[in-house]
A and B are shown apart, each in its own frame.
Chain A
Amino acid sequence: MKLFVSFFCGLLFGLGLTISQMVNPQKVINFLDISGNWDPSLMFVMGGGLLVFGLGFFFVIKKMTQPILSNQFFIPERKLIDKNLLIGAVLFGTGWGLTGICPGPAMANVLSFEPKIFAFIGMMLIGMFAARLTLKSTATTTTESDNLSTTMKTVETD
């Protein structure tokens, strides 16, 4: 049942990306191009998404102790604004601006069989792997074991 829910949510998510045209890199780039032919459409995507998720989170999920089909919520608890978060956002923003593609639309575009999408996904996986190695090597060079466990926790929970 949980696996079916996962599949169904992935399907809905992909429908949302496709209907809103987030899957079209040109649309994303025109949204980011505020001084050119600005296309503000994607503001409505984020607005709609935040409205539904935010209201649901604060009025329903916050009052629950556990999810309906599982025995715990896997919600990132970290509050610390650290270097990794900031550097990660800068790098991610650069890649997103260069291509107009982020992870969700890349996956939802697989069936277009566009070679560039496959190349993007391949490089994205290599990038994730490289980041994981980087985090591991920095974590093992720090002497405090506390540091290590918090670093690993960020990676796993978010």
Chain B
Amino acid sequence: MTEFTPLSALLGGVLLGFSSLLFLLLNGRIAGISSIVSGSFKSLSNAPQWRWSFLLGLILSPLALVLFDYQCSTSIEITWPMILIGGFLVGFGSYLGSGCTSGHGICGIGRLSPRSIISTCIFMLVAIAVVFISKHLL
């Protein structure tokens, strides 16, 4: 059970949107995390430095919050088999479908891209169905 936290959720969402907007406005790049991750491990000629810089910022970001005495409590109750299967599917699916929650869900829908709108609707509905099955039927 987690509490309903509309204010911090909205503030966090605004930051996500602002970061994505700034990235496109200044560097001309889409802040799609799955593509940034997969692109980081591609041929070195394809300008990977900006991807690594972005990922470094993303990885170090919790440190900035620790300075403000923020408690990050991430306890992961998901079982090991689910982590392994889920991780693989997230990687395979986001590569095949050219995007994830950030690239399609925010940058894509924000541009009203039909591909992203369809992708986001599908993965949301599928994820809801998977949670329903695993929590209520199994």
Contacts and interface: CB of A to CB of B under 8 A. Distances in A.
Given A21-B12, A95-B85, A107-B59, A67 B26 contact: yes
Interface of A, helix, strand, loop or mixed by DSSP:
helix
Nearest to A42: B9
Contacts of A90: 93, 122-123, 126
Interface of A: 2-27, 29-30, 32-37, 39-54, 56-57, 60-61, 64, 66-76, 78-81, 84-104, 106-112, 114, 116-117, 119-132, 134-135, 154-156, 158
Interface of B: 1-6, 8-35, 37-38, 41, 46, 49-51, 53-65, 70, 72-78, 80, 82-115, 118-120, 122-132, 134-136
Nearest 8 CB-CB pairs, A to B? Answer: A88-B97, A20-B12, A14-B61, A127-B91, A48-B13, A10-B57, A97-B130, A93-B126
Contacts of A11: 57-58, 60-61, 64
A87 B102 contact: no
A3 B102 CA distance: 20
A61 B24 contact: yes
